Amino acid sequence: MSEFAQFADRLKRPIDVKLHDFQRNERLRHLIFASQLTPQLLEKLRRMADMIRQLSRTKEGNLQLKQLLAHRRAMLYFSQPSTRTFLSFMAACQILGITCNEVRDPKTSSEAKRESKMDSIRMFSSYFDVIIMRTPEPNFAECCAYLMNELESREMRSVPIINAGSGSDEHPTQALLDMYTLMRTFSTDYSRESKQSRFVELQSQTPELKPGIANKTYLFCGDMGRGRTVRSLAYTIGQYPNVRLLFVSPSHETLRLDEQTKKRLRALRADIHEFDSLDAQLEGQPILAQADAVYMTRIQREHNSTQDDSDFSKIDFSQYQLNPERVARMKIYAPILHPFPRDSVMGEIPTSVDMDSRAMYFRQARNGMWARAALLVHLFDAADELFMLHNGR
Amino acid sequence: MSEFAQFADRLKRPIDVKLHDFQRNERLRHLIFASQLTPQLLEKLRRMADMIRQLSRTKEGNLQLKQLLAHRRAMLYFSQPSTRTFLSFMAACQILGITCNEVRDPKTSSEAKRESKMDSIRMFSSYFDVIIMRTPEPNFAECCAYLMNELESREMRSVPIINAGSGSDEHPTQALLDMYTLMRTFSTDYSRESKQSRFVELQSQTPELKPGIANKTYLFCGDMGRGRTVRSLAYTIGQYPNVRLLFVSPSHETLRLDEQTKKRLRALRADIHEFDSLDAQLEGQPILAQADAVYMTRIQREHNSTQDDSDFSKIDFSQYQLNPERVARMKIYAPILHPFPRDSVMGEIPTSVDMDSRAMYFRQARNGMWARAALLVHLFDAADELFMLHNGR
Amino acid sequence: MSEFAQFADRLKRPIDVKLHDFQRNERLRHLIFASQLTPQLLEKLRRMADMIRQLSRTKEGNLQLKQLLAHRRAMLYFSQPSTRTFLSFMAACQILGITCNEVRDPKTSSEAKRESKMDSIRMFSSYFDVIIMRTPEPNFAECCAYLMNELESREMRSVPIINAGSGSDEHPTQALLDMYTLMRTFSTDYSRESKQSRFVELQSQTPELKPGIANKTYLFCGDMGRGRTVRSLAYTIGQYPNVRLLFVSPSHETLRLDEQTKKRLRALRADIHEFDSLDAQLEGQPILAQADAVYMTRIQREHNSTQDDSDFSKIDFSQYQLNPERVARMKIYAPILHPFPRDSVMGEIPTSVDMDSRAMYFRQARNGMWARAALLVHLFDAADELFMLHNGR
């Protein structure tokens, strides 16, 4: 957009240089890119999310949490529809007492009166204390972060920006909740919470299972070309040592992983492999049997070109679907994740898998609420207060 | 819907058998059918609604109520538009401190991405603590209750379901608020609240007036065929001994009471009569003069078939309208109710009746808020806390 | 509307007579017309808005404010889209703990079922404690105030009405926030709050600058014909002694100030002048150099007739645009206001002016939140409680 012209120089910089603009010393100033989610920060957020989850088990804990950020008001600016991400952020805010406001339909907004998008954002920042945004325009959240930084540098009112999915860019809070789910799955910390953690029990059955994200094999399956959640999560996992990333998709250009992503992942020293079927083998072994975690995704038909529609009719999509037989071949501890919604017609995960103990996708959705709440506590610098609440229990 | 196929066996059972699935010992687990509203439960809810109403008279009482369920979050899933029921539930939640979330336009939801309805419901149950739903699909709320029961049986997260009107089924919370209004009208409990209760005063003028729902004549008028509120209320009243139910509607098949409902009512031993005019007589007396309460309804034109449109043009709808002359013939204590909205063009209740002391329909609407709040307190098992608040005043 | 017929006699009365209906002794009962904003009331609201603003600087103050009206629920009935006014009222309510509810799309409401507008309003007043309304129908808010008064006279439930812009009538809360911004700009009260007030410093540079609204020149520029905010603000300023009002617009009938407004302003003894360019002169001096404040507005193209579209193509709109050169000619203390949104294509205020210290329009937007919160405290008669909170700091 022409309005973004003023930020053109900043947009062109390499991502590593940009990241400094979104930090405030040790802390996030805005969350724009999944690359901001370092292993150190993820560990910090995981602990905070766990505290919030534990406090929320009692009425008393809930009422304390609802005071934590009760002096804050949030704007959820979602001009791109997304019920799930939207509701998850709403719930996260509500847990912490943050009052929510929303603008969802661009037609009801002042944009119809030719207000610039930047004026709309400044309006939101006048009334509210954080802007959580999901919009179809690429780089929009990034530009808003630059605008806020500029206002702050002039000692004017400025608020944090959270990218809840902008354009076909990354989707950093999805990566956050996916990582939170994986970290919980591969952690020994939860032995006391019998229902929630299967780790210690599973470890006794499979001694090769070690805690942590590093040194593991992650299998991604489905729409690798258009799935921003895959990209965001793969970068984040790629920061850990000795990880193997397996990408399973039709070899069609629209659907397979793009070259630029592969290049960035290789720069992180991740070990990358591509396949065109869930039944493929690597080094003589079925890939499904080697995966420590399986991340399924939906084919995003709504973004198909006419050519895609025609091409895809020749693809055998059953190669990219789980079913009880394939699940039976997986490691007994390997969690199945999906960013949801899943496609009930295509059936990349049929409901027959739902009751398997490895099906982690509903729990993953609920994790999104805790992880996003932790992010808000972090951005508002209320971690110390949360620790005190938690220890005071 | 094909998704409901998994619940086909349960859906086919007779209603009496089903009811056990929606109870948890003495308490409601879900509210799906009006038949769950037994006289005992209604009396319990009436007392709770009265307490909430009394507490809300002071700022202090209000602030206490707002803490009662402040640790809960509700999803109002209203894919079928209904401003009145929606706002009434919103207000009920807010009185108790329950944080509200809504999904109203199905297009903004994940259903556009072919997510199954059951996945949507599980998403809601991941983030929220109760699902209040109004949808055009018949049996949908019932199926959701079965899904929740199944999750609970597997020790997974499960939340209560409230049917706020599903398909052309019953509308149990409307029956609840109608009953609450009738119980208040026919009660001696409110002698201290001078403004609210006319009962004691009216009783001194008409010695034949006795307290309670039993032993009375109830007149229903308007769209008997399509009014689910009529059906729900009639079943509920039918549970009380010695009640007479008069149904006044055009004798057209679309508009008159269906045979199945009549059969169910007769099974309850209710005394049923049908008429085609408000001026009709029963046993030589005008029916209007015999009614202890008059329940008016709107002709639901929006559900007309083309044939209906043609047929209805020949009907004299003035036979189904109140006016000051007809009201003058009613008993001086007989309340006039209407589920609202009323049709300002058709005029089944013209505004000239509004200032009559028997016009109870605006008070009835406000009663909906208190009655629904009582239901939420009951479902969340917070009745004891409410009693303590009320006694501590 | 025919429904308003019952209020026809009251609507016809002169405005001075009407005002009594909207007062309750010294206090507002409803806010319908800008004429209710007397200098005395404005001063009272300014002090309250300042207290709210100061309390909101700390978490503790915020939490105290959130208890002030936590027992109240508001209905924001906005059938005419307006993101800015809507969000500003939402934020104002939230600061005070008022729970918000909204009806924005008339199609989702009971109006589709031919419910009368007056029944809808009574429904809102059944569930909520104040109705904040913005609707396209002229006089609608006024009629709702009459309805509420009538209910109160019959000892029935009644709530305050706030006109948030009805038809092409006035827009009194916009006048309120504009006045609040001007009063703050021209006040010596804020010397302690270094960042917010430039007044004392500016006074030392320009000794002719005196505090207060009286004895000053106000320049209005843009769409004088259709801008209800201009009309509302001009009336309000016109109540102060010795003010000069300069109106700058194309001389086209649609865009210049209407005769009736001029007549009403002259009745207030305001000194009125009209111009067709920002570069015009008055008494040999450029008008821009004489203005103590400049109020810019957007050309409301969305209300153009076909004839307007054709006529306007011949108008040189650059005569009604600020730019750095024109701003340079203004007094160094003269604030630039704009009711927003501004037109990013037309550019009546280009972004190149945004960083000038006189650009007050973003601060003005945030002032709207404080001023509206003060109004709510006033309407709910909670001023004394607010004073106590403020003094207890």
pLDDT digits (tens, 9 = 90+) for C99-138: 999 998 766 556 667 889 999 999 999 999 999 999 888 8
The answer to whether the CB of A89 falls within 8 A of the CB of A132 is: yes
Give how far the C-alpha of residue C304 lies from the chain's centroid of Cα atoms, to the nearest Å.
Answer: 23
Beta bridge partners of A273: A246
String of DSSP letters for A284-353: TEEHHHH-SEEEE----GGG--HHHHHHHTTS-GGGG---HHHHHHS-TTPPEE--S---TTT-SS-GGG
The answer to whether the CB of B288 falls within 8 A of the CB of B189 is: no
User: In the predicted model, is pLDDT for residue C1 greater than 70?
Assistant: no
Q: Which helix (H) or strand (E) holds C376?
A: helix C361-379
Whole-number pLDDT of residue B109? 55
Whole-number pLDDT of residue B204? 82
Whole-number pLDDT of residue C248? 98
Whole-number pLDDT of residue A308? 94
Averaged pLDDT, B20-40: 95
**Smallest Cα–Cα separation from A118: which of A1, A282, A212, A260?**
A1
Averaged pLDDT, A49-68: 97
Q: Is C59 helix (H, G, I), strand (E, B) or coil?
A: helix
Averaged pLDDT, B332-349: 94
Whole-number pLDDT of residue C5? 86
Chain A environment of B130 (Cβ under 8 Å)? none
Calpha distance A211→C210 (Å, rounded): 72
The answer to whether the CB of C323 falls within 8 A of the CB of C350 is: yes
Per-residue confidence at B236, pLDDT binned at 50, 70, 90? very high
The answer to whether the CB of C324 falls within 8 A of the CB of C352 is: yes
Give me the sign of the Cα torsion angle A251, A218, A231, A90: positive
Average pLDDT of chain B to the nearest whole number: 93
Both tokens assigned to C13: 């009365």
Rounded to two decimals, the pTM is 0.95
Both tokens assigned to C304: 């153009």
Beta bridge partners of C272: C245
Buried b (16+ CB within 10 A) or exposed e, A168-194: ebbbbbbbbbbbbbbbbbbbeebeeee
Contact A112 C298 (CB under 8 A): no
Both tokens assigned to C249: 């617009």
Contact C119 B341 (CB under 8 A): yes
What would the pLDDT profile of C320-371 be if each residue is shown by its tens digit? 999 999 999 999 999 999 999 999 999 999 999 998 999 999 999 999 999 9
| % of chain A exceeding 90 in pLDDT | 82
What would the pLDDT profile of A218-229 be if each residue is shown by its tens digit? 999 999 999 889
**Angle between helix B117-127 and helix B140-153 axes, rounded to 10 deg:** 60
String of DSSP letters for B184-245: HHT-STTSSSTTT--HHHHHHH-TT--SSSSS-EEEEES-TTT-HHHHHHHHHHHTSTT-EE
Whole-number pLDDT of residue B106? 63
Per-residue confidence at A111, pLDDT binned at 50, 70, 90? low
Calpha distance C391→C23 (Å, rounded): 28
Q: What is the number of other CB atoms lying within 10 angstroms of the CB of residue A218?
A: 23
* Residue of chain C nearest A154, judged by CA positions: C355
The residue ranking higher by pLDDT, A320 or A190, is: A320
Pairing mode, if any, of strands B27-28 and B293-296?
unpaired
Whole-number pLDDT of residue A170? 78
> Which domains are seen in chain A, by residue range?
2-170+368-381 (3.40.50.1370), 199-356 (3.40.50.1370)
Long-range contacts of residues C107-111, Cβ cutoff 8 Å, at least 24 apart: C107/B81, C108/B81, C108/B83, C108/B104, C109/B81, C109/B83, C110/B83, C110/B84, C110/B340, C110/B341
What would the pLDDT profile of C212-271 be if each residue is shown by its tens digit? 999 999 999 999 999 889 999 999 999 999 999 999 999 999 999 999 999 999 999 999
Identify residues of C whose CB sits under 8 angstroms from chain A CBs. 56, 59, 62-63, 66, 81, 83-84, 87-88, 90-91, 94, 104, 195, 298, 302, 340-346, 351, 355, 362, 365-366, 369
In eight-state DSSP terms, residue A196 is: T
Calpha distance C116→B206 (Å, rounded): 35
Averaged pLDDT, C286-290: 97
Per-residue confidence at A192, pLDDT binned at 50, 70, 90? low
Whole-number pLDDT of residue C129? 98
Whole-number pLDDT of residue B205? 85
What would the pLDDT profile of C12-49 be if each residue is shown by its tens digit? 999 989 999 999 988 999 999 999 999 999 999 999 99
What would the pLDDT profile of A325-356 be if each residue is shown by its tens digit? 999 999 999 999 999 999 999 999 999 999 89
Phi, psi of B262 (to 5 degrees): -60, -40
Contacting subunits of A (3+ beta carbon pairs below 8 A): B, C
Contacting subunits of C (3+ beta carbon pairs below 8 A): A, B
Whole-number pLDDT of residue C81? 81
Per-residue confidence at B1, pLDDT binned at 50, 70, 90? low
Contact A110 C302 (CB under 8 A): no
Length of chain B, please?
393
Identify residues of B whose CB sits under 8 angstroms from chain C CBs. 56, 59, 62-63, 66, 81, 83-84, 87-88, 90-91, 94, 104, 195, 298, 302, 340-346, 351, 355, 362, 365-366, 369
Chain C environment of A123 (Cβ under 8 Å)? 83-84, 87, 340, 365
Pairing mode, if any, of strands A27-28 and B161-166?
unpaired
Nearest CA of chain C to the CA of B11: how many Å?
Answer: 31
Interface test with C, best of A68, A77, A110 (most C CBs within 10 A): A110
User: In the predicted model, is pLDDT for residue B196 greater than 60?
Assistant: no
Per-residue confidence at B110, pLDDT binned at 50, 70, 90? low
Ranking A310-324, B191-205, C330-344 by mean pLDDT, the lowest is B191-205
Chain A environment of C341 (Cβ under 8 Å)? 110, 113-115, 119-120
Both tokens assigned to B208: 């034949």
Chain A environment of C345 (Cβ under 8 Å)? 114
